[in-house]
Structures are given as C-alpha cells and as structure tokens.
C-alpha cells in the first residue's frame, strides 16, 4: 500500500477531531477508532468498497487533531473531486466530532507517512484553581501555578538531536530512540500554558512525556537544568509522569511539495 | 434582595460554563438552568438553606460564559471564606460544565446587577467549509468566506449612543431602546472571526442581532454603510437574522471598585 499504485485513486485528506471517547486513531476491538470512522465514511462514497487508510502519525485514546493527514486509496474508476471527498466524508462522519478540512490528489509517489518531513503538536494546560468548564476534555488541568518562562528555559535543553529514551513509552516500536527536536516552546496565554513542538518524527508518548517533565519544572519541583540531566540518563524513570492525553492536539504535517491547495 | 442586608452574608462569584444543553441562566420549568445549579450547589455548603442569587446579566439557552458575575446571599451566621466558596460550589456543581472561577466578599451596598458599570461579550464564528469538530457548540459555523475588515468597518457605525430598536428582541423588557456601545470590533484569527463588544448594558439579543447583520456585510450581501441605515430605521425587520446562541460568550463584568482580588 505504500508504493505508487495504478489500481487505486490516492487522496490526501487533512482531518480535525475531538478525540474524547475514541480509542485513538488505530482500529481496535475495544472501542470506536477514528480510522474506522474515516474508512467507513469514505467507503460510503464509493458503494461501500473498502478504502484503506494510512496516517502520517497515530494518536492515542483521547488525543485530538486539527491537522492530521491521512492517505486514502479509493478503488478505480473514480470520478470524485476534492470538494466531493471533503464534504462527502464529512457528511458521512456525522454525528461524530470528526471532519475533513481539506482534500487533495497528491503526487503519485506520495505516502502520508513516509513523505512527511515534519509533524507538529500542541499541548495545552489549563493552569488555574478551578477545573475546566468550556475546555473540558481538551486541556490538562493543573491547579498549582506554573512558571511558563522556566518551562520554556527547560525546554531549550531538549532541542536538537538526542537519544530520547527518557521520554519514550515502553510500548514504543521505533527502531531508534534518536530524534531531532526542531521546536519546543512554552508560553502563557492567560489561564493557559501552551506547549508547541515540531520534529521530523516523535517517539511514542514523547510529547506527553516531555510535558510531564516540563510541568515539574513549572511548579518549581525541578530546576530547568534538570532537563539536560534527564535527557543524558536515557532512563524513562528519571523523567516526569506522562501528561494526560486530553491536552494533546496533532496540529499539522509537512510535505514537500505540500499536496494541499486552498479550496473554497 | 437588592438593598444592603444585615441578615445575610453577601458574596460575589465569577463563573464559567458551557451553556450547551441548559435553558440559560434563569430558572425555568422546562429544563436545567445555570441559576438552579448554582443556587443548589451553594445551598449544599450551608446545610441546604436557600441561597438566592442575582446575576449581572442573564444568558439565553446555549449561550456560554467565562466571566459572568453572580451575587449570592448566604444565611447568617456564616464562616465561609473565599476559597471555600469557590471550591465548595465548584465541587457541588459536578458533573456539570459549570465552575466558579473567583469568589469575593463585596462592599455592603454592592449589587451584581445594579453596581455593574459594563458588560463584555465575545461572539465567535467558525468560517470554513467544514463544520466544527473541536469547537462544536461553541461557534457559529458559516461556510461562505467572510471579510472581517468589512465587518469591522460596519461595526463602527454602531458605536456610541443610539436607539438600538433594530437590534432588539421583541421579548426585550428594557424600558428604553437607548444603549451606548463602547466597543464593537471584528477580527480574523485563522479560521475564526472574533467579535468583541462592551457596553454598560445590552438589550435582549442585541449582540446576536448585531452579529447577524455583520455577517451579512461579511459575505458581501450588504455594504458596511448599510449598518447606519439599519440603525436609523429603528425597525427590527431591517436588520439581519439573530445569530445562534452557540457562538456567544459572556466574558466579563466591570465594577468600581472590582470586588475580585486574586486568590491562589
């Protein structure tokens, strides 16, 4: 499914969803997955023929997306255009909180996973005494005041190429713990602490594990320099807890060239 | 209930809620109101004695708040402090998406409604082809591209003191249609159009009715100058439709002095 195909009509779609209540991207037997919803909705556009999908990156249960990119291989012959793909799949996704934002026919050798040159994520913390009402399910609620400037200082120690074993889930299936972190910033926006990050790829739970350590710095349990020490230890037990999925959002994926062109 | 009382312990609280599924602020027989939830939660703090409330301004069904101010009159003798009020009511509001953000003991003659010197609201439009997923229930979804700059130009015609009859609900109970609009701005933030407004007070549905006309300008049906014409007509039928409640959020209320002091 990853090589150019002459027997299918390959499409790239960009999707947004609220991950609350889903088991994550990947199909599983124990609940509703986003993959299952997308593939089923796409199949309805073509007489219920199967439409296999590949994602630029998986998401865990409860994680959200506002720019996850998916590859769909429709059966030939196909006469669908970008607007029909976008609006048709979105229609069949009702009443779920999953929509298609964009659709594009990519270059023949494009692959949602292997052609991606970067992925970006945002992690949002609600930092105030009272639990979230409006943002329920979409933030990590931390009562203790966090120092965003100190968290940002700590984050700088993780930039660049490192062995990220200290921030890697035991379930991670990547061949190597080496990753190159291109962006990791922390800023306060009112009651929210916003963590933005970008890399060619991430290890499993890497973002949530980095945030779990950054919040330790944020409330003063650790100095910012501790982050370099944790990284050097290459030991998951030295780092902070895994931040909950609620605050995480898969923001965007980079391709060169970008298959997505503006649609009205 | 509006005069200073020596028989009750008066508190000011600031609340946030997702209005989806509620009948609005005011108690009604046909569904769950925010007032009922707040009064019931407050009563639980004091052995289920009634705790009457007064709001700085009502909200309609489906409208949200992130800074609505409420007056609560607890029975004497009371030994509650601000943290107990905030956290205790918030606790008893579970599992509803309603929380207390702040609590303060105001000056003796303070009244949530009559002491307010301004109210501010934000209206959020999601302007893109696909329906909202992450922001479902918290935005007005408009597919047609809107020109925020033109909407902002139109908004300027409504600033100052005017007879706002053209933007007034037929159910409005205010004595006069005269209001002074201190702020009405429109800007784009990515896929969102943000309308911010502030006035001493608003007529019933005034914000939603103003937004309903601004979006007519936004998609080019009306020129910005039409707003002055609508205003001068003093006729609700000349203005645009009432925007749906989903996009509206009651942001904040002003008092001099402000009873709310930072709590940790």
The whole-angstrom separation of Cα B166 and Cα B232 is 8
Which element (helix H / strand E) includes B206? Answer: helix B206-218
Task: Provide the number of CB pairs (under 8 Å) joining chain A to chain B.
Answer: 64
Mutate to test the interface with A, among B90, B134, B191 (most CBs of A within 10 A): B134
pLDDT category, B1, cuts 50, 70, 90? Answer: very low
CA B118 to chain centre: 11
Touching check for B86 and chain A: CB below 8 Å? yes
CB A66 within 8 A of CB A99: no
The whole-angstrom separation of Cα A90 and Cα A179 is 35
CB A102 within 8 A of CB A2: no
For residue A157, give how far its alpha carbon lies from the nearest alpha carbon of chain B (Å). Answer: 30
Touching check for A98 and chain B: CB below 8 Å? yes
pLDDT category, B5, cuts 50, 70, 90? Answer: low
Instruction: Determine which one of B9, B18, B60, B147 is catalytic.
Output: B60
Contacts of A97 in chain B (CB under 8 A): 133-134, 136
CATH topology of domain B8-115: Alpha-Beta Plaits (3.30.70)
Q: What is the ipTM of this complex?
A: 0.92
CB B85 within 8 A of CB B216: no
For residue B97, give how far its alpha carbon lies from the nearest alpha carbon of chain A (Å). Answer: 5
The arithmetic mean of pLDDT across residues B27-51, rounded, is 96
Q: State yes or no: pLDDT of A261 exceeds 80.
A: no
Contact (CB<8Å) A16/B134: yes
pLDDT for res A79: 86
Mutate to test the interface with B, among A129, A142, A192 (most CBs of B within 10 A): A129
**Residues A216-232 pLDDT 10s:** 999 999 999 999 999 99
Q: State yes or no: pLDDT of B94 exceeds 90.
A: yes
Contact (CB<8Å) A130/B86: yes
**Residues B60-85 pLDDT 10s:** 999 999 999 999 999 987 789 999 99
Q: Which residues of A are catalytic?
A: 60
Long-range contact pairs involving A258-262 (C-beta distance under 8 Å, separation at least 24): A259/A12, A259/A104, A259/A105, A259/A106, A259/A107, A259/A110, A260/A12, A260/A14, A260/A102, A260/A104, A261/A104
Contacts of A134 in chain B (CB under 8 A): 16-18, 64, 66, 97, 138, 249
In A61-80, which positions are buried (b, 16+ CB within 10 angstroms) versus exposed (e)? bbbbbbbbbbbbbbeeebeb
pLDDT category, A145, cuts 50, 70, 90? Answer: very high
For residue B104, give how far its alpha carbon lies from the nearest alpha carbon of chain A (Å). Answer: 15
Spans of all domains in chain A: 8-115, 118-251
Q: Are A8-115 and A118-251 equal in CATH topology?
A: yes
Q: Structurally, what CATH architecture does the domain formed by A118-251 represent?
A: 2-Layer Sandwich (3.30)
**Residues A59-97 pLDDT 10s:** 999 999 999 999 999 998 778 999 999 999 999 999 999
pLDDT for res B77: 77
Touching check for B59 and chain A: CB below 8 Å? no
Q: What is the DSSP letter of B109?
A: T
Nearest to B133 among A98, A145, A263 (CB): A98
Contact (CB<8Å) A18/B99: no
CA A81 to chain centre: 27
Q: State yes or no: pLDDT of A150 exceeds 60.
A: yes
């Amino acid at each position: 499914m990853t090589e150019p195909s002459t027997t299918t009509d390959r499409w790239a779609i960009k999707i947004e969803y609220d991950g609350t209540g889903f088991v994550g991207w990947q199909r599983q037997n124990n609940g509703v997955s986003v993959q299952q919803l997308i593939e089923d909705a796409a199949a309805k556009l073509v007489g219920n023929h199967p439409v296999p999908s590949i994602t630029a990156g998986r998401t865990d249960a409860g994680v959200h997306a506002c720019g996850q990119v998916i590859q769909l291989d429709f059966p030939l012959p196909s006469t669908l255009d970008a607007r029909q793909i976008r609006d048709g799949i979105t229609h069949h996704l009702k009443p779920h909180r999953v929509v298609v934002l964009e659709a594009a026919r990519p270059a023949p050798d494009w692959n949602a996973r292997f052609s991606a040159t970067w992925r970006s994520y945002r992690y949002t913390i609600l930092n105030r005494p009272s639990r979230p009402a409006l943002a329920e399910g979409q933030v990590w609620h931390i009562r203790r005041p966090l120092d965003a400037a100190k968290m940002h200082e700590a984050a700088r120690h993780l930039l660049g190429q490192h062995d990220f074993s200290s921030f890697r889930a035991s379930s991670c299936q990547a061949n190597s713990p080496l990753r190159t972190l291109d962006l990791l910033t922390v800023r306060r926006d009112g009651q929210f602490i916003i963590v933005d990050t970008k890399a060619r790829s991430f290890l499993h739970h890497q973002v949530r594990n980095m945030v779990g350590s950054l919040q330790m710095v944020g409330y003063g349990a650790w100095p910012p320099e501790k982050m370099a020490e944790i990284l050097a230890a290459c030991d998951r037990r030295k780092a902070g807890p895994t931040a909950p999925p609620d605050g995480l959002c898969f923001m965007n994926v980079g391709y060169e060239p970008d298959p997505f062109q503006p649609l009205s």
